[in-house]
Amino acid sequence: MPYRVSHGKPIPVGYSPDEVFSKIRHEEVRFIDLQFTSLPGRFHHTTISADTFTPEQMRDGLPKLDGSSIVGFTEIEDSDLLLKPDPNTYAHIPWMTENRTARMLCDVYWGMGRGRLSRDPRGIAQKAQDHLASQGYESMWGPEVEFFVFDKVTWDVLTPYKGQSYSIESVEAPWSSNGAGYPMGLQEGYYPSTPSDTLTPFRNECVNMLNQEFGILCDNHHHEVATAGQCEIDIRYDSLTNAADSTQTYKFVVRNVAKKYGKVATMMPKPVSMDAGSGMHTNVSLWKDKKNAFFDKDDPDELSQLGRYFCGGIISHARALSAITNPTTNSYHRLVPGYEAPVYMAWSGSNRSAIVRIPKHFRGRGYSALKRLEFRAPDPSANPYLVFAAVLAAGLDGIKKKVDPGDAVHEDIFKMTKSERVKRGIGVLPSSLGEALDELESDRKFLGPIFTADVIDMIVEIEKRDQREVLIRPHPYEFDLYFDV
């Protein structure tokens, strides 16, 4: 795939519709996978024969979607939707070799010329990008997606009167019993060498596929802090919608390569108790006239006033943002002190106990392209289209209202007492999904320029349903705590 350079970063040029049809013919593609994302962030697809795919379908869309069967989309009485392929996202699916298959990401539209589906996450991301452009800016986003790769996972929730349980198997874990590896202790998994790190070949293959087949540049990969196969592969920063597309494709590739290796990958934030969870640290910068608007060479942190206001917006809306950036009940098992997850509403430089960090690896105008905010609260269970759009809305609200984020906190917030945090004005993120949803319902106006009311209402409805399903079931550990009361 050809590349061009934007803000110092090579990114794919993409293809025109005519180029896509030419590639389909010359590369003997047999099937086209039409991929899209539901409101909660699940990846979906339908597959069509390349022999029947026409330029008119590329232009007008394909009537292939019952919106009432996709969580968060439509009701059953009004459910005819169209999938419009984006030719810029055309790529081969490398593990489908017997019948050569390509994919395109799709935008979701109502039928009968009624316009874009407001609950299409990709449409929300594009709306956010357009809203920012109307103010004279563009944005760059770099998600750091962490995930676990296990040898085997089983669970039993379908026989509630028998009990509920889960089991995780990993040759890297301290509870491994097969004696074939060099197990890592809890929170001792950061950057181990091989053979303790058993997943280097797996990550190499993921990076090769993302780089070579999907045009998604990944420049680094490593084992993360947790035991039992926690990984991170870094995606180079890109524009908002492209970065969200890349994140969804990243998850798609990781899961399928794991299957090839006889393993299973999960984006669940906290699958292993008493160990670090998986985050999706979200790096963002605003640009104007080809220059990074967050960079100021005269500031001690080299962060501009615009960047400070953007930071203030994130911090002021962080509790409401949690319902979007941390949308599962499991998310809040990660957001506890002591396991590297940020829970305190403050900003800093290299201090990883704050929810917003200003990375301080380099100084000077030569590195101005790298000046950014790193929002550390999001996790990989979140829908990246919604996360980036919501974080942008919060930051822009901070700029509009000139929200001061306060002084940077250089001390380890985890070691502060509650009274010290209160004195410094350091708030805390919600401790449960229910609390986060309450915050979103009371603080939702800042999302208004980008999110329609029905989208926010549906997010709340879906997540409240999940919360209730967990609340009505006893937790296995409660038997240990309370059986003899």
CA 404/CA 398 separation, integer angstroms: 8
The per-residue b/e assignment along 276-296, b for 16 or more CB within 10 angstroms, e otherwise, is: bbbbbbbbbbbbeeeebbbbb
Beta bridge partners of 139: 286
- The encoded tokens of residue 240 equal 């908002």
Catalytic residue chosen out of the listed positions 144, 238, 245, 463: 144
Q: What angle do CA 108, 112, 118 make, to 5 degrees?
A: 35
Long-range contacts of 178-182 (CB under 8 A, 24+ apart): none
DSSP class per residue in 401-419: HT----S---S-GGGS-HH
Query: For residue 390, with 0-12 CB atoms within 10 Å meaning exposed, 13-18 middle and 19 or more buried, which class applies?
Result: buried
232 is catalytic: yes
CA 313/CA 347 separation, integer angstroms: 12
Catalytic residue chosen out of the listed positions 197, 224, 275, 302: 224
Catalytic residue chosen out of the listed positions 352, 435, 441, 443: 352
203 is catalytic: no
CA 116/CA 316 separation, integer angstroms: 31
441 is catalytic: no
CA 315/CA 407 separation, integer angstroms: 12
Largest Cα separation within the chain, whole Å, is 72
CA 161/CA 167 separation, integer angstroms: 19
Catalytic residue chosen out of the listed positions 33, 86, 120, 146: 146
What phi and psi values does residue 179 have, to the nearest 5 degrees? 65, 20
457 is catalytic: no
Catalytic residue chosen out of the listed positions 66, 412, 457, 461: 66
Distance of alpha carbon 66 from its chain centroid, rounded?
A: 26
Catalytic residue chosen out of the listed positions 122, 281, 319, 357: 281
Catalytic residue chosen out of the listed positions 33, 232, 340, 397: 232
CA 303/CA 63 separation, integer angstroms: 48
Give the dihedral sign, CA 267/273/378/308. negative
SS3 238: strand
Q: At what angle do helices 384-401 and 240-260 cross, to 10 degrees?
A: 150
Sequence letter at residue 426: I
DSSP H or E segment with residue 201: helix 200-212
The pairing of beta strand 31-37 with beta strand 101-110: parallel
144 is catalytic: yes
Q: Terminal CA-to-CA distance of the chain, rounded, Å?
A: 64
Closest CA to 322 of 418, 432, 449, 248: 432
- The number of residues making up the chain comes to 485
- The encoded tokens of residue 105 equal 């990401």
Active site residues: 66, 144, 146, 224, 232, 281, 352, 374, 376
